[in-house]
Structure formats: C-alpha cells, structure tokens
Amino acid sequence: MTPSTLTQLFADAARQTGMQLSYDHEPTLWLRNEISAIRQAAQGGRVEQCGHLAPGQAAVVALWRPERAWCAWCASALMLTGDADRTCDRCQRVGAPGELIHPCVVDAGAALVLLGLCPGCSRAEVPR
Ligand SMILES: [Zn+2]
Ligand SMILES: [Zn+2]
C-alpha cells in the first residue's frame, strides 16, 4: 500500500469515527506497551479479524476491545455509549455524565489504534 492511500485510509477512519487524527504523535511508555501487547496478540493469532480485511491491509484496533481488528468501515460501529463511552482507556476512570472523553487515533504502523482518554490522561499523552 502506498503512503498516500494509507494516509487516506487513516483520514477516512478518523472521519467515520469522529476522531482526531494525529500524525506526529509520540506515544508514551504506557501506549507503547499497549500497542506492543496488541502486536504480540496479532502475531500469535489471538486477534480476530472482521472479515473484510485483505492481507496487508491496515487494520483498526480499539484499545477497549483489543481482541478484534477491524476494517475502516467496521470501525465506525465500534463507538461506545453510556459508562463505557466515558471510561478512560489509560486510567480506567469512568467520567461523570457530560464529561468528555478525548478520542484519539494513533498510527501504529500496520494498524490504527483508537483510544479514549480522560482530560488528565489526554494531556499526559498528547501534550499541547
Ligand atoms: Zn470490516
Ligand atoms: Zn484517564
């Protein structure tokens, strides 16, 4: 896959999931550990695929459901509601109703990783 189609795929996935795409993100140790755990699970055949993914196609993985990999289209069905939607993937804190979890998309090479962070963790992960 050429870089331009990959970039397009990421942009599409970000748009479909209403997420913010960060190209120059430098993951923290926590996020690098999460991503390498997903990689190891995928290499060990422990990550189920949605069925649309062609070999070599970039997959979308959500930190809150790391046991499955999705195509960009299926990823739009991954959005959560209620308490699960307000749960921070980093500190596992459930935000108060109305409190916004910051959705993020991270380019992890062969996969896009989706995660939701509470305001505190969001500042730690993506300093602005
Ligand atoms: Zn799919
Ligand atoms: Zn948090």
Which ligand is nearest the CA of 75, by number?
1
Burial letters for 104-125: b for 16+ Cβ neighbours within 10 Å, e otherwise? bbbbbeebbbbbbbbeebbeeb
Tell me which ligand sits closest to the C-alpha of residue 102: 2
pLDDT for 1 equals 44
Distance (Å, whole) CA 53 – CA 71: 6
Phi, psi angle pair for 46, to nearest 5°:
-100, 10
Closest-approaching ligand to the CA atom of 76: 1
Within the chain, which residues score under 50 in pLDDT?
1-3
Specify burial of residue 77 (Cβ count, 10 A radius: 0-12, 13-18, 19+).
Answer: exposed
What are the tokens at 67? 């046991």
Measure 28 CA to ligand 1 centroid, in angstroms: 29
pLDDT at 94: 93
Residue 98 alpha carbon to ligand 1 centre in Å: 31
Give this prediction's pTM. 0.76
Rounded to the nearest whole angstrom, what is the distance from the C-alpha of residue 17 to the centroid of ligand 2?
A: 20
At 33 the pLDDT is 93
Q: What pLDDT, on a 0 to 100 scale, did the predictor assign at position 99? A: 80
Q: What is the pLDDT of residue 52?
A: 93
C-alpha closest to that of 125 among 95, 96, 100, 104? 104
Structure tokens at 78: 């991954």
pLDDT of 3 reads 47
Q: Sign of torsion, CA 69 71 74 78?
A: positive
Neighbour tally for 90: CB within 10 Å: 20
pLDDT number for residue 98? 79
